[in-house]
Chains A and B, each alone.
Chain A
Amino acid sequence: MDFATFLQISDTALRFATPLLLACLAGLFSERAGIFDIGLEGKMLMAAMSAGAVAAVTGSVWLGLIAAIFGSLLFAAVHGIASITFRGNQLIAGVALNFVASGITVLIAESMFGQGGRTPPLEGAARFANIDLPFAETLGAVPILGPFYAEVISGHTILVYVALALVPISWWVLYRTRFGLRLRAVGENPASVDTAGVSVVRLRFSAVIIAGVLCGLAGAYMSTGLQAGFGREMTAGRGYIALAALIFAKWRPWQALWATLLFGFLQALALRPDVVESMTRVAIPVPFLDALPYILTVIVLAGFVGKAIPPRAGGEPYVKER
């Protein structure tokens, strides 16, 4: 693999990693507060459809983004009410939402546009434009780092940079603020928060809402940044891959970045079977390369990455006891 190819693949990897990273951070906030969120997939799908549809109708990607966040929040609210207010099973509520999303997105898109469950192709202001970072041209002349900056870092949509900025922001919120302390505590031992006079319900709802907003960004990026419109099942299991990355990252923000970049890199490789073949000298079937991120997901979920201890109160509704 020559340097130019490496840069190309890295560039694609970053694009592919972005929705994973946003969803992974969404899961991080939710699960750190003790709400297991298997519904990342459904929320992303709902957001992707909302963004695609509204951007297509209004021609404004920003209205599309708002619609995406709204659509995702709707699902987050249902998840919160089911699993926090009514103390239902978090996993079952999440799975149910995924099924609903899978059907309702196609239903809405079909009834609005009649194009077989897709939204019309987006162009111009209905999509997020790529941004060239300052000095990309001039710094490009610097060996190694220059091209890396110009080709890989620069030239993405705003959501990519938002996702990257959210990594240190999430770390800071979790470990340096009162809200973060309480959020982590409520995922470990909600009784400690409750007896300290802080509302468990309010904290957990905040976490679920943050997850909703982040999934909204992830979904909007799918249909208005990465691709030009919504298509049936376009998230293709990215919500589950994000969950695997979350476990890989052991529920920590910086590690989430590295984990999602790894998954993004594998997805990018699948687009370049020629590169893989030249490196391994064996023709690897493309479907196998496509499956690689999912295979890694299975390996991660099966626990082959060392000890990953989830938040102790994760998955359990909080019932006050004497």
Chain B
Amino acid sequence: MPSADLGGRQATAAPASPYAIELKGISKAFGSVQANKDINIAIPRGTIHGIIGENGAGKSTLMSILYGFYRADSGQILVNGAPVTIPDSQSAIRAGIGMVFQHFKLVQNFTVLENVILGAEDGPMLNSSLAKARKILGDLSREYELDVDPDALIEDLSVGHQQRVEILKALYRQAEILILDEPTGVLTPDEADHLFRILRGLRDQGKTIVLITHKLREIMETTDNVSVMRRGTMVATVKTAETSPESLAELMVGRKVLLEVVKNPAKVGDIILSVKDLAVNDEHGVTRLKGVSFDIRAGEILGIAGVAGNGQSELLEALGGIAAASGVVVLNGAELPLTGPRANGKARRDAGIAHVPEDRQSLGLIMDFTAWENVGFGYHDDPRYQKNAWLMDNDALRADTAAKMATYDVRPPIPALPAKSFSGGNQQKIVVAREMDRNPDLLLIGQPTRGVDIGAIEFIHKQIIALRDSGKAVLLVSVELDEIMSLSDRVLVMFDGQIMGERLPAQTNERELGMMMAGMGAK
């Protein structure tokens, strides 16, 4: 039990209140946007407390206030019953609050040990700090299943291990309250299970865990209580055991939401795309995609499951004409050039491939350009947008954008608004509208619902299924297993640039796919 070594925070903070954290009337505005409105919440000590809400509901703002990144305009924060002010991260750490960010705050070329002591060194010399940290880390690892090699470089660790380093950092700073922001986005199901075991272990030692997530399943499986945020307000706090995913979703969105994807059996036709031994090297010459082969038929959705960074991005980029590749790719009976000047996104679009890239903000949109300019990208020579041989007809493009915005439910439906002014879900709808509306033979779609709120997820899923039902082929890449399982007609699992095997969603389960995603299990 290392808490003896860690000093007596528990002893000094004699629990006067049953609550680890209480927020009273917290409000925060950015300009005219009210990010948090009169938030009241009390989190009992020694529990796992979930906070869910759509993107932009104000979860991150609230947590940033707790960790000293922002100061609330009004309201009060109580830790263990005592009022505190948290003007900076140092104060949050001193109050016993630790934070595990969605994007890890680690120094890639430092060792685990160096990352752990950074900012919490004992004195101006490093040696004694390192020795002490090594001992404490050993104790913590044993107690909470948090094993990592203290001398490993961060860049050599898997994301799951990197996350453990973040947790160790917080524990080393004697955090009694641990906040985790979307912790499972980058983990395999196995790693996520391991994480939840760690969190339960921490809770059983009396620590308080705040889990921010948009995954209802994790909330249901892991938390004791759950608070729901919507548009900057805290709409409800309920006992997890007394609620259901459906009612939580309804609280989040403010209306009834269909969580299950409804689709008819696939009516498959001819082979649209045939891929053979497709391989891609990155700019350092490292082979990222190591020769994959598969076919996609008309009227089916082929799902590619895998942990991010196992070659799925390269697969999409090679097929979309962004990355040079080797191998054979045949679309509708015609072979596509994979290198050279004719291997580009424009040629692929002309051939009938539409591409919704994984990272819409860097590859799908120009954030400072307006919605109508973004809708025109890649299709500037569409005859509908031409005034004459030399000039574009921007009015036609604007009108077409307005029509697409209506069809694809983009809110607000204003073509002249810059892309960055839309929420993540509406940005995605703009990209989806541009790509799907051309009625492509093959749709490549990567992470279609990353950072997209529940209401928009439902809409985008329906669009994908409608395209498939109209006899088109869809290649779906997603790190969300739920999404893969519910949308796909067939599933390929990728690991380390290779296909580990093919499964039918009805004849497999998340456990089996998870094993394959981790590189285990036969073909």
Contacts and interface: CB of A to CB of B under 8 A. Distances in A.
* Chains A and B bind each other: yes
Interface of A: 176-182, 184-185, 188-189, 191-198, 312, 320, 322
Contacts of A181: 114, 117-118, 121, 126
Given A176-B127, A177-B126, A185-B118, A194 B107 contact: no
B125 A176 contact: yes
User: Which of B61, B121, B125 has its CB near the most chain A CB atoms (within 10 A)?
Assistant: B121
A189 B124 contact: no
A45 B208 CA distance: 58
Interface in B89-141: 89-93, 99, 101, 105-110, 114-115, 117-121, 123-127, 129
B64 A322 contact: yes
Contact of A189 (B60, B107, B125, B127): B107
A184 B109 CA distance: 10
B190 interface: no
Interface of B: 60-61, 64, 67, 69, 88-93, 99, 101, 105-110, 114-115, 117-121, 123-127, 129, 169
A195 B114 contact: no
Contact of B106 (A178, A192, A194): A192
A192 B118 contact: yes
Given A176-B127, A192-B106, A196-B119, 16 more contacts: A177-B124, A178-B125, A180-B126, A181-B117, A181-B126, A184-B107, A185-B118, A188-B107, A188-B110, A192-B107, A195-B67, A195-B99, A196-B105, A197-B88, A197-B119, A322-B60
A26 B119 CA distance: 24
Contacts of A185: 107, 110, 118
Given A192-B118, A196-B89, A320-B69, A178 B126 contact: yes
Contacts of A178: 121, 123-126, 129
23 contacts: A177-B125, A178-B123, A179-B124, A180-B126, A181-B114, A182-B119, A185-B107, A185-B118, A189-B105, A189-B106, A191-B105, A192-B105, A192-B115, A193-B119, A194-B105, A195-B101, A195-B105, A196-B118, A197-B89, A198-B90, A312-B108, A322-B60, A322-B61
A178 B118 CA distance: 8
A192 B108 CA distance: 10
B91 to A, nearest CB: 8
Nearest to B125: A177
B108 A196 contact: no
Contacts of B129: 178
A195 B165 CA distance: 14
Nearest to B61: A322
A189 B106 CA distance: 7
A188 B109 contact: yes
Contacts of A193: 118-119
A14 B70 CA distance: 53
Contacts of A189: 105-108
Contacts of B114: 181
Nearest to B121: A178
Contacts of A182: 118-119
Contacts of B119: 182, 193, 196-198
Contacts of B118: 181-182, 185, 192-193, 196, 198
A57 B64 CA distance: 57
A286 to B, nearest CB: 42
B219 to A, nearest CB: 21
A322 B91 CA distance: 17
Contacts of A188: 107-110
A182 B126 CA distance: 11
B156 to A, nearest CB: 15
Nearest to B127: A176
A202 to B, nearest CB: 12
When A and B form their complex, which 7 residue pairs have the shortest distance between CB atoms, in order from nearest?
A: A196-B119, A197-B90, A192-B105, A178-B121, A197-B89, A195-B105, A198-B119
A298 to B, nearest CB: 24
A195 B89 contact: yes
A180 B110 CA distance: 12
